[in-house]
A and B are shown apart, each in its own frame.
Chain A
Amino acid sequence: MSVLVLAQHDNRVLNEGTRRAVTAATQLGDSVVVLVAGGGCQAVATQACEMEGVTKVLCADADCFRDQMAENIAQLVAELAPDFSHVIAVGSTFGKNVLPRLGALLDVQPISDVVAIESPDIFVRPIYAGDLLVRVQSQDSIKVLTVRGTAFEAAPSGRPPCALEPLSATFELGLSELVKREISESDFPSLENARVVVSGGKALGSRENFDLIYRLAGKFKGAVGASRSAVDAGYVPNELQVGQTGRMVAPELYIAVGISGAVQHLAGMKDSKVVVAINKDPDAAIFDVADFGLVADLFDVLPELEAQL
């Protein structure tokens, strides 16, 4: 079995999620090939070559792939896919954008958000906001999968580089173009990679008050997350939303502050190792999944907690 992993990157740095997809790939095949498609992406290809478990890296370095437009990238992957038993990407907004389109081009039904691999064709994935797990068997000749990053360890770097093969294929479909990216620059680690995540809910009451959450996260060198209602209220940007339709996290420690614990939020964090819930309402559902619960006013607790750390 030979597995193709589609790398996610910004032409400079390989995304951590791709390392997790590589780990999933090593469970499937003895040959793991990573495709780096981008524009001016040689540095990424070099990083990919140093990942444990990678057999070979293919690098398609061309203007048409620079902005990671799904239309062009899916076409490239479709050209390569027939040589592989599986095509995998991490189930980020990038992977979820490209791989279903690939499914269309290959006439394959993709499998989304795989959390466990039982055999080369049997996969486990969550449905209904994680309320249920389904075991599915793919009957397609090529399996197209996105994997849930939190379910797989990141493949480390540091071994002698594997073979790097440049690709000359280009696909400019002319259907879409990037106008701009508004990337949130932040001193905090990304949600998926943080050891500690501190999330705030609507109870914070304002954008200014959310500073309490940022300060606590800073103490832990952790990441900041939020419930949907906090994002909808405009306290924090959308990309901090943890839950069924947002980001999936599984840190060592998850601290939920002023979050009631709707099932849609729990879907995004219930695989965290230790969960702490701080909420004024003793009946809040978040306490049902918390290892440690504290019924108190967050405005009293947060300064005190910060001081004690």
Chain B
Amino acid sequence: MKILVPIKRVVDYNVKVRPSDDGLDVDLANVKMAINPFCEIAVEEAVRIKESRNDCEIIVVTVGPAKASEQLRAALALGADRALLIETDQRLEPLAIAKCLHKVFELEAPELVLLGKQAVDYDNNQTGQILAGLCGIAQGTFCSRIVLSDAGTVEVSREVDDGLEVQRLKLPAVLTTDLRLNEPRYAALAQIMKAKKKPIVVTALADLIPVPSARTKTLGVAIPPARKAGQMVASVQELVEKLKAAGGLA
């Protein structure tokens, strides 16, 4: 079974970002970058599936700058077999990323595509669903449990707003990972060393597909108005009085 795991290089989730000086973009100068946490969960899940059977190949792919090879190496160290870098310095929208991945899907013909439900930079929560739509295959979003059957199907539990939903999907399928699917492992030093020898094939974006045009224009990036600093109260009684005065206990 071939598993394709698209990942994204993002600003480390601990970093507080700011608008650029011209207010037209996010200031990413000298900011620590990392693999998107949801993508890490996707890589981990692929590795667990591989460990539970003996016929798996894990291909990790990213669309991004040359430096995104750092995140591909990290995924290789976690247990992916080989990597593809679709290189571009342009920042692509989810639709454009999905078009690249659709092409990779056609070339590699994986039975499963596993990716994070959202990236913690732009919080779009779109790429997996768009990819599934472009490929015309099933989608299982926000997965907290993935069980492959021998009958060419996969059963997933999805975290939805009012509980859990279990779906059975025909393979190939696109699955997006939620937080509680697994807890990613740390790569051992030996794995990190081994990963240095695993192949990363680099393809220029324009050599893969005609470069997609942007569909949205960013007009401005701003910091939202902050909440005003409040006041400390000394006791429960004072809290209740203040709340009554503020109308919170009406």
Contact = CB atoms under 8 A, between A and B. Distances in A.
B231 A291 contact: yes
Contact of A101 (B118, B130, B179, B233): B130
B43 interface: no
Contact of A122 (B124, B219, B248): B219
Contacts of B236: 294, 296, 301, 304-305, 308
B203 to A, nearest CB: 22
A239 to B, nearest CB: 6
A126 interface: yes
Given A100-B125, A127-B26, A105 B133 contact: yes
A293 B230 contact: yes
B170 A174 contact: yes
Main secondary structure of the interface of A (DSSP, over half): mixed
Interface in B125-145: 125-134, 137-142, 144
Interface residues of B, number: 84
B243 A132 contact: no
A288 B163 contact: no
Contact of B230 (A99, A131, A275): A275
Q: Which has the most chain B C-beta neighbours within 10 Å: A113, A238, A288?
A: A238
Given A100-B129, A176-B140, A176-B168, A291 B246 contact: yes
Interface in A224-243: 228, 231-232, 237-239
A129 B166 contact: no
Contacts of A27: none
B227 interface: yes
B111 interface: no
A114 to B, nearest CB: 12
Given A179-B168, A228-B179, A291-B231, A112 B125 contact: yes
Interface in B181-233: 214-224, 227-233
B17 interface: yes
A294 B120 contact: no
Contacts of A232: 179-180
B61 to A, nearest CB: 18
A176 B175 CA distance: 12
Interface string A237-254: 111000011010000110
Given A111-B216, A122-B219, A132-B223, A177 B168 contact: yes
A247 B161 contact: yes
14 contacts: A93-B158, A100-B127, A104-B132, A126-B123, A129-B120, A132-B224, A133-B221, A175-B173, A181-B166, A274-B248, A275-B227, A295-B232, A296-B236, A301-B236
Interface of A: 69-71, 74, 92-94, 96-105, 107-113, 122, 126-140, 174-184, 190, 228, 231-232, 237-239, 244-245, 247, 252-253, 263-264, 270, 273-276, 287-296, 301, 304-305, 308-309
Given A104-B133, A288-B229, 10 more contacts: A71-B139, A112-B124, A128-B11, A132-B17, A132-B19, A136-B216, A239-B161, A293-B231, A294-B232, A294-B235
